[in-house]
């Protein structure tokens, strides 16, 4: 899976989790801002990602990660 494909997949997962149209979401979007998510929802998204890709994502690796692009980089390193 290329990084672009991975980013697209992340957007799909986030859209599904937070019931948003994926056409509203872009790779460079700040997903906290765009989706308006709190700490609980951020944790839910992290759990979804771990389940989807069958990986573990330590919370500290996500510090400062706020766009789908950056998230893709973190996940790519663990797949």
Partner 1 sequence: MTTTPNTPSAPSAPSDATVARANSSSAASTSEQATPNVVPRATRIGAWQARLLGKRVLRGLVSELEKRTGIAIPKPGPKPAVTRPVPSASFDGRALRWRLVDNAAGKHLEVELHRLPCNEIGTTALEELELLATFLHAGAGGARAMVLWSSSPKGFCAGADLRELYTALMSRYETEGRSTRTKLAVAHEVRGFVDRIHAAFDTIDMAPITTVGAIHGFCFGGGFELALTCDVLVADKSARFAFPELRLGLVPGFGGIPRLKRDLGNAVVRDVLFTGRSIGAARAYEVGLVSQVVPRGNALEVARKVAEQACRFDAQTTARAKAFTKPLPREELAREKDLFVDMIGSPVVEAALRKFVESTSVRPYLP
- Cβ-based nearer residue to partner 1, 60 or 79: 60
> CA 25 to CA 20: how far, in whole Å?
8
Q: What is the footprint of partner 1 within residues 8-67 (CB under 8 A)?
A: 32, 37-40, 42-44, 47, 50-51, 56, 58-60, 62-63
- Cβ-based nearer residue to partner 1, 23 or 60: 60
> CA 74 to CA 72: how far, in whole Å?
5
* Sign of the alpha-carbon dihedral angle for 55, 10, 47, 52: negative
Count, residues near partner 1 per rule CB under 8 A? 17
Q: Rounded to the nearest whole angstrom, what is the least distance from the CB of residue 59 to partner 1 in the complex?
A: 5
């Amino acid at each position: 899976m290329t990084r672009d494909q991975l980013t697209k997949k992340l957007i799909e997962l986030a859209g599904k989790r937070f019931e948003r149209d994926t056409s509203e979401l872009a790779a460079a979007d700040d997903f906290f801002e765009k989706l308006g998510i709190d700490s609980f929802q951020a944790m839910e998204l992290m759990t979804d990602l771990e389940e989807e890709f069958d990986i573990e994502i330590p919370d500290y690796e996500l510090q400062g990660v706020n766009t789908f692009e950056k998230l893709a980089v973190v996940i790519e390193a663990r797949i």
